[in-house]
Structure 1
């Protein structure tokens, strides 16, 4: 004790002692912490949130993803609509240090030659390509060629690769093939790569069936695990562990390719002649609800993406609109079914006042006093208001609900809107009787029409027939006919069918133009006003949604055909005449093929399969085009074809123009007589900036025929209607 007192009396020794004690305690505490930390890491195998065991595995294991094959989309007969494919992006190495394995130059050695060759296959001029090959930064390793260098077909890739240009390389990317071109495109949908720069990327649906059934189509990826050393070299004698991928299932649609292709022909013809802002054509099997054809305009080419920016949605389910007078099918049905229909009752046609609002017939002068039996046939709005008033607004609303107006159909497509009913004011209630103040989608209307076709039973529209396991071939899901309600009695349905027939056969009927000789067609026409953004409705003879709904045959329908057309910009014929150019030939085709989808005329023969003309002599290519019944247009002075539009494998209508780019100087062709679509092909294949003025066919061009256009500025094309 005295020693400690002496020790602490010595200040220096006391300080040394305290410091020693502190160091000893700190060391012991640190050692304890270290032991605890070490024990924790040993037991949990984690450090700082990182799984050490997994990290070690990653270092000495190579895991390779094995992509599952995406399932195919097929039509009702098993014909391909969409399947797996491959596209290529081109790039050029410009770093002079880059060498191949055997020491040769792996960069662009001759920019002039490279640009000259690539300009034959890419929609870029030699000057534009040379600009890409000469980046501002001297340190840049490689360059790409913008949109023109992406999404190249295997044919174009092979042609460029065969030239063996130093420094030119390709990235292979997964893609999707749509061999029919424009074919129910917005309904079928498209895909995109999850990672556009990863050649091993999966692709996912972003529209239509591709999106709705993405999980079913995608399948499950597999993987391969290989033991490697620290330099990522495979260890000799190591065993590879493999987890097999599970391919996506195949989805069979109810679409009938023969009917669908014909609908596309009719739609394209109307689009080119009358330029409607929107056009829809639907064919539904009246007995089963199967959608056998469905197309819209505007649409796009799923292979090239042309037109996509103007049609990025499926208007069949994603757009809602006021249906107009086709709604009178439901109004008449409700009136008859509720026991409030008196066909012999007279009413004053022309106009009627409801809730402080004047409602008029399309013929505002009217037809005097006429019986209610003529209201449907003449498409009298005033007559329909009379029926709504006789029923009462509550009864009419109950029937609209029975017909599922304002409710989604649940069809297997993404983004379906439910629609709406404006029913607050007396005038709105009256207007719903003739299809205003109510918003629907086309599938809803088809579903409602099916009740008239099926003895009062309402059938849900179906777009998918079955789903089949690609590995086993077994059907994993089958879609059956689904009755979703019975809004009216069978006897009511029969009376409405007869009324639809009279629209065609009566001299005062609004559907006389839809009379197809030898076919008992029943229809209802429609002309719906379009709401103005500033309130009220738009004015003008073309500012309507024109429509026709038909049953074939009227007394025992096999098919329901529904065509809508919005605001034709070139209304050189009456709306009824324009719609009849779709409806009448389509009805003839449906009848000629009978009830069975297999006992049919070969509608596909209406299309021409585009062959590959690449590397063919210009003269032999022109002869081939002529023999196919197509028109041609040649760009350039060369004797060999290096690019073509449309691409091989696509289907086009007889009389369409194929545009060829040759290996000579890019010279301006004589565009006189070319359609606007032909001019767009010219712009696409040359990569030139083209401005069109007017509509119809080319009568003037700012660059003379034969003039070299590689370095020309903007090209102005003037068109006029014939």
Structure 2
């Protein structure tokens, strides 16, 4: 049936109206997009076109006082996998397991994860790998396996100064030490870059970009001396092993400036391997600043100084040693029966408790409390003491009585270091005031903060005086002479050194039972604190040993303190006769004349070799590089050894040099330059080495050196 004209017109009108409606909708939508949603949509489009990336700053390095790098940032990698491209998960797990030190079963579980497209091969602890491990992984040629570049901290001295340094975990968070205390200085500020990208995500040509460079972290120069620190760690290890002790701590400080020259605690950990060596509640505490325990007889120095300052001490006056009654308690000397009638000077030498109880009675409570406070410990009638303010985290304050007036027995025991708890660093700074003619200074471990680009100091730490007149210089000198007598003729004789005058005091403190009710039988902390030379002390050394199986402060702690003290004085350039010399000269005062080495780093190898030979040395080139990247001995050092080692490549490519015949110190220094942590047995000169001479170092991190004394 043929449609009528009316029907045709009606259909045409309907089609026309529909077309007009659709066109109107399109026009309205275009208007809405361009006028109303324009800014919103453009912003979404720009997010699609643009890419913004954060640029991580380099964390600052940490050096010792002489510029030796202790900690630095290095390239590291996380191994990741594109699961869609991985063809054989079982084979990949088998090959990657030994390289990444992740159990094969754990790897396979991750590589067959149906819910993920990409996985990072992380394991408990530190899952970042070195460049060498990355290269070995990539050589496997596994489809879908790729590295993600990041950074990690490299601790060049292994476990040395671990509690002072702290560590940075795999997430970049600092824990303990200066890494935590100075995190805002070390970490720097992140930068960013924003640019237009193409469909593949690459930077579009001729596109504009916004670039904000990162600010790298500042470098820290510590007050620690690497060589003194090494000797301290070695002495503590030997002492702990010999006496089967539960733990130990030691501090070496410059009494004039408050600079900490070395600080160590046992048990300790290796910050380079914190994931396997750091144990919370076992070795995470820096006992040198955090531990609080009864000081014992080392605290008698405060009572002695106060008595002399107040004119209450006569070294020739005599008293009956052995026992003394205080309230309803009998206080005894450490040998129970005493030594009969002796002088107060002898009471100091022999560490008589009775002598110091009598001195405490003469002082009276007010003066005794005041002098303990003046020496930096705080008011013992309060519950807690006064922190020294050292720039390390978790410093203890000391634990005191918390009431006034004191009971007669509390006043008596305080006079000889019992009944109160203080920290090792508090004791060191109190004795430093005696060594520093009555001036109390604040201890610190950071010497300066440097700009890593220019190498110039942006901030230098100067000595901070807390109190100028703890006691008079005359009193301080008299105390030093009496403490010299304690070393020469009393309980500290094991601390005597040939050529140096030493003053000091031993201590043996019984450990209190949990809850403070009584003392544990047979559990002691033995200690020694001393200084040298007596006339003008340059170093104060404190050593405490926790629960040795045998011995007292004079036999256990004093020998370790003596060794640390002697090494420190030599490093500081203090000659045996007490006359100060330039440290570099003092170390080599008995050596033949030698020229100062130039800095050959970043110089062409051929140029360095020619000039070194011309100076009469024997250059030893390690590696096949064209430019010197490190050298030993270091620039500015003197020496008469014939070899100068020029390192031209990173350790994996280097052949191990022959260390046999070298003295321990030089062998250790060369190992540090090569990036190797040396473990030693014996003493003297290197007899054999675990990495044979001429063998490539590859990814080795440790070397065993066997030593023997010279013939």
Per the TM superposition, whether the score is higher than 0.5 is yes
> How far, CA to CA, are the matches of 2:445 and 2:585 in structure 1?
21
Supply the distance in 2 between the matched residues of 1:383 and 1:339 (Cα, whole angstroms).
16
Name the CA shift for 1:148/1:412 in 2 (closer, same or farther; >3 Å). closer
Report the CA distance between 1:613 and its aligned residue.
9.5
Rounded to whole Å, the distance in 1 between the matches of 2:473 and 2:199 is 78
Shift of 1:337: 0.5
Determine whether 1:160 maps to 2:137.
Answer: yes
Q: Please name the residue that 1:269 is paired with.
A: 238
Find the aligned partners of 1:629 and 1:614 in 2 and give their Cα distance: 25
Instruction: Spell out the pairing of 1:618-637 with structure 2 (5 A cutoff).
Output: none
> Partner of 1:73 in structure 2?
62
What is the CA-CA distance between 1:573 and the residue it aligns to?
A: 5.3
Report Cα offsets for 1:219-244 as digits up to 9, x if no partner: 11111111346875544421111111
Q: Deviation at 1:393? A: 0.8
Residues 249, 545 of structure 2: 8 Å contact kept? yes
Indicate how the Cα distance of structure 1 residues 169 and 386 shifts in structure 2: closer, same or farther if over 3 A, else same.
Answer: same
Aligned mate of 1:557, from 533, 537, 556? 537
Contact 1:525–1:548 at 8 Å: present in 2 too?
yes
Q: Which residue, 355, 365, 369 being the options, matches 2:327?
A: 355
1:64 to 29, 53, 65: 53
Which SS does the other structure have where 2:272 is aligned? coil
CA contact (8 A) 2:323 2:354 kept: yes
Residue 528 of structure 1: how far off its partner (Å): 1.2
- 2:488 is the alignment partner of 1:488: no
Q: Which residue of structure 1 aligns with residue 208 of structure 2? A: 239
Q: 1:272-421 counterparts in 2 under 5 A? A: 272-305=241-274, 306-309=276-279, 310-405=282-377, 406-421=385-400
TM-score (norm 2): 0.72
What do residues 3-22 of structure 1 show as CA deviations (whole Å, max 9, x unaligned)? xxxxxxxxxxxxxxxxxxxx
Corresponding residue pairs, total: 569
Quick one: distance in 2 between partners of 1:376 and 1:566?
Answer: 24
Rounded to whole Å, the distance in 2 between the matches of 1:576 and 1:490 is: 28
What is the CA-CA distance between 1:335 and the residue it aligns to? 0.7
Offset at residue 500 of structure 1 (A): 0.7
Q: Map 1:136-147; keep pairs closer than 5 Å.
A: 139=114, 144=121, 146-147=123-124
8 A contact 2:156–2:672 mirrored in 1: no
Instruction: Provide the residue aligned with 1:225 in structure 2.
Output: 194
**1:130–1:394 distance in 2 versus 1, CA, 3 Å:** closer
Instruction: Give SS of 1:133's match.
Output: helix
- Rounded to whole Å, the distance in 1 between the matches of 2:211 and 2:567 is 53
Shift of 1:628: 8.6
Distance 1:487 1:448 in 2: 9
3-state SS, counterpart of residue 681 of structure 2: coil
Counterpart Cα distance in 1 of 2:36 and 2:431: 71
- Whether the aligned pair in 2 keeps the contact of 1:298 and 1:307 (CA below 8 Å) is no
The CA deviation at 1:117 is 4.3
* Inter-partner Cα distance in structure 1 for 2:357 and 2:131: 62
Match of 1:717 in 2: none
Instruction: State the shift of 1:535 in Å.
Output: 3.6
- Residue-by-residue CA offset, 1:606-658 (whole Å, 9 max, x unaligned): xxx9x999899xxx99x97988999xxxxxxxxxxxxxx99972332422899
Correspondent of 2:128 among 151, 155, 159: 151
Name whichever of 281-290 and 548-557 sits farther off: 281-290
1:500-515 alignment, distance < 5 Å: 500-506=483-489, 509-515=490-496
Deviation for aligned residue 1:325: 0.7
Measure how far apart 1:170 and its partner are.
4.0
In structure 2, C-alpha distance between the alignment counterparts of 1:285 and 1:174, rounded to whole Å? 36
Task: State yes or no: 1:523 paired with 2:498.
Answer: no
Compared CA separation, residues 587 and 137, structure 1 to 2 (3 A): closer
Q: What residue number does 2:514 align with?
A: 533
Q: Which secondary structure state, in structure 2, belongs to the residue aligned with residue 591 of structure 1?
A: helix
Per-residue deviation, 1:119: 5.5
Q: Secondary structure at the match of 2:501?
A: coil
* 1:133 has 2:108 as partner: yes
Counterparts of residues 62-211 of structure 1 (less than 5 Å): 62-90=51-79, 95=83, 98-99=84-85, 106-108=86-88, 111=91, 114=92, 117-118=95-96, 120-121=98-99, 123=101, 128-130=103-105, 132-133=107-108, 139=114, 144=121, 146-147=123-124, 150-166=127-143, 168-193=145-170, 196=171, 203-211=172-180
Distance 1:287 1:466 in 2: 17
In structure 2, do the counterparts of structure 1 residues 356 and 592 end up closer, same or farther at CA, with 3 Å as the change threshold?
same
Inter-CA distance 391–55: structure 2 relative to 1 (3 Å threshold): farther
Q: Which whole-Å CA distance do the structure 2 matches of 1:559 and 1:122 have between them? A: 46
For residue 68 of structure 1, give the secondary structure of its aligned residue in structure 2.
coil
- 1:212, 1:412 → 2: CA distance? 7
Give the Cα–Cα distance (whole angstroms) in 2 for the partners of residues 239 and 207 of structure 1: 43
Distance 1:107 1:627, change over 3 A: farther
The 2-side partners of 1:243 and 1:54 are apart by: 21
Matching residue within 429, 434, 440 for 1:452 = 434
Task: Say if 1:349 and 1:382, in contact at 8 Å, map to a contact too.
Answer: yes
Does the CA-based 8 Å contact 2:162-2:270 persist in structure 1? yes
Q: 1:165 to 1:213 in 2, by over 3 A?
A: same
Deviations along 1:310-362, one digit per CA (max 9) or x if unpaired, are: 22232222222221111011110011101221333333322223232332211
Residue 465 of structure 1: how far off its partner (Å): 1.0
Pairwise CA distance, 1:265: 1.8
Please tell me whether residue 497 in structure 1 is matched to residue 497 in structure 2. no
The offset of 1:428, in angstroms, is 1.4
Shift of 1:186: 0.6
Structure 1: state its 5+ residue gaps.
1-37, 46-50, 100-105, 197-202, 631-644, 661-680, 682-722
Secondary structure of 2:124's aligned partner: helix
Structure 1 counterpart SS, 2:556: helix
Displacement of 1:547 in angstroms is 0.6
Deviation at 1:537, TM superposition (A): 4.0
TM-superposed CA distance for 1:382, in Å, is: 1.5
**Cα offset for 1:156?**
2.9
Kept after mapping to 2: 8 A contact 1:457/1:483: yes
Quick one: distance in 2 between partners of 1:70 and 1:322?
40
Superposition deviation, residue 149 in structure 1? 8.0
RMSD between superposed Cα atoms in Å: 3.7
Q: Distance in 2 between matches of 1:582 and 1:448?
A: 21
Q: Is the 8 A contact 1:92 1:107 kept in 2?
A: no
Q: Which 10-residue stretch deviates more, 296-305 or 367-376? A: 367-376
Match of 2:221 among 252, 255, 259: 252
Tell me: CA distance 1:511–1:150, structure 2 relative to 1, closer, same or farther (3 Å).
same
> Does the aligned pair in 1 maintain the 2:259–2:443 contact within 8 Å?
yes
Q: CA offset at residue 575 of structure 1?
A: 4.8
Flag the 1:148–1:483 CA change in 2: closer, same or farther, 3 A.
closer
CA-CA distance at 1:217 after TM superposition: 1.0
Q: Deviations over 1:31-87 (max 9, x none)?
A: xxxxxxx9xx989x8xxxxx9987665444321111111111111111101111233
- Give the whole-Å Cα distance in 2 for the aligned partners of 1:337 and 1:52: 82
Q: Is the alpha carbon distance of 1:129 and 1:615 closer, same or farther for their aligned partners in structure 2, counting shifts above 3 Å?
A: farther
Instruction: Please state how far the C-alpha of 1:278 moved relative to its aligned partner.
Output: 2.2
SS of structure 2 residue aligned to 1:187: helix
Cα distance 1:59–1:319, how it changes in 2: closer, same or farther (>3 A)? farther
User: How does 1:558-637 map onto structure 2 within 5 Å?
Assistant: 558-568=538-548, 571=549, 575-593=553-571, 594-595=573-574, 596-599=582-585, 601=587
Residue by residue over 1:401-421, the C-alpha shift from the partner in whole angstroms, topping out at 9 and shown as x without a partner, is 111102111111122122132
